[in-house]
Structure 1
């Protein structure tokens, strides 16, 4: 019998209610606004907003207007390139997470690192961490998909398993989990913008996830629920 690897997290104080509430809010947004025919341009806008926010969190100084005009700096260009191919990786994430994560890094880091390290873990410990994350994604769980996405994000961002661009990879993987697990199949919410809106909390809780033991992980997943609500507020569905 397979043990649910995230059962311990779903039993922590505040986690079930917080994730149920944010999922209800996302479902209401997508149902009330998204069941109308949503054009591909709306998904493209969500991805663009996400690429900009993720790039800023990675150190970009480009504005959303710069990114929209194709005039972003190198980090923003990397984020946009990644976002343009990200959704096509959703089936791969479900079947072969290691392959999907490697491709995400290759897209993000193209031209920034040597070709022979694109998509490859930095060292043996990083390879082990990625295999463990892949196993988690392939193991059945009763945990909410939003919670799975939060753990995937924090695990990649804190472990930094690739030679570069780990923050971009972590946030892209988070969005892809939400798509592949049916939370947001058209990718219309903008979780990256939620993290940017709560940047101080985002950065401190990632440190807590890495260094703070169970308490730090608990704090991260509680924070992430707030960030997803902010990401829903940043959706183009709110402003169309």
Structure 2
């Protein structure tokens, strides 16, 4: 049996304890009494806040109450709202057809931001290996997708489709970090990356109702988020460790935010 490609990540210093803490915090938050009585209201609030945070991380910050009132027409914010609303319906498909779901997420996120014919299509200038590679087969230059980008997206899809058995927190972190590094789509690709990571947590049963808005954790620690994502892209052990620890902390913050929302509503 082939070795799990992500298993070595848990051997990096402090990563396994950070992942365990995130799991414990999420389990505690998901037992909040408000989820039994007013779960739908809590879920709607989480969805709104996650979308506002994701748009802010993309450079389009808006006041939450203005968004709630429907007065913000910014297309990146509107795309983030569409993506957040679509996550529950895409969770079952995500491990079965990851690349199809990524295309759908991009179509939702980038409508009104990029040309219609670019929606859902990897953008060669945004991925690694642009201008390199040859051939007209799938993933080749003749298809408009550089070989390196296509191969890395296929590798990522393989992990999502069951190619690893590590903690969902680690898998979600890798999905998120890799998509940030690749930037495979034009426009608000960070919105797509954050949504794909959330889908990983939902589809694996770690956060089955999609109530942990990890985006809030990223936004609260935005300088660390940006720095750790850059470190992840280097592929070094220290870079991977930095990103995984940040991601686990962001999950904890998302759990704390859920508890706070539950207290407000319940």
TM-score, normalized by the shorter chain, greater than 0.5: yes
Give, in whole Å, the separation in 2 of the partners of 1:33 and 1:54.
27
Whether 2:16 is the aligned partner of 1:8: answer no
Match in the other structure for 1:40? 40
Match in the other structure for 2:58? 58
* Shift in alpha-carbon separation, 1:150–1:238, aligned structure 2, 3 A: farther
Show structure 2 runs of 5+ residues with no match: 125-145
After TM superposition, what 4+ stretches of structure 1 lie above 4 angstroms from structure 2?
Answer: none
Matched residue of 2:92: which SS? helix
How well do the aligned residues superpose, as a CA RMSD in angstroms?
A: 1.5
Give, in whole Å, the separation in 1 of the partners of 2:71 and 2:248.
33
Deviation, 1:189, is: 1.7
Give, in whole Å, the separation in 2 of the partners of 1:80 and 1:104.
11
Q: Which has the higher helix share?
A: 1
Note if contact 1:48-1:83 (Cα within 8 Å) is conserved in structure 2.
Answer: yes
Note if contact 2:52-2:61 (Cα within 8 Å) is conserved in structure 1.
Answer: no
Match in the other structure for 2:122? 121
Deviation, 1:212, is: 5.3
Whether 2:237 is the aligned partner of 1:237: answer no
Show structure 1 runs of 5+ residues with no match: none
Further displaced range: 215-224 or 75-84: 75-84
The counterpart of 2:213, out of the listed 182, 187, 190, is: 190
Note if contact 2:83-2:108 (Cα within 8 Å) is conserved in structure 1.
Answer: yes
Give, in whole Å, the separation in 1 of the partners of 2:163 and 2:152.
19
Cα deviation digits, residues 178-233 of structure 1 (max 9, x gap): 11111111111210011000011001111111125221011100111111111112
Deviation, 1:130, is: 1.3
Give, in whole Å, the separation in 1 of the partners of 2:123 and 2:163.
28
Give, in whole Å, the separation in 1 of the partners of 2:186 and 2:109.
11
Which structure 2 residues correspond to residues 1-240 of structure 1 after superposition, within 5 A?
A: 1-33=1-33, 36-72=36-72, 73-123=74-124, 124=146, 125-211=148-234, 213-235=236-258, 236-240=261-265
Give, in whole Å, the separation in 2 of the partners of 1:37 and 1:6.
38
Give, in whole Å, the separation in 2 of the partners of 1:139 and 1:189.
22
Aligned length: 240
Give, in whole Å, the separation in 1 of the partners of 2:96 and 2:21.
29
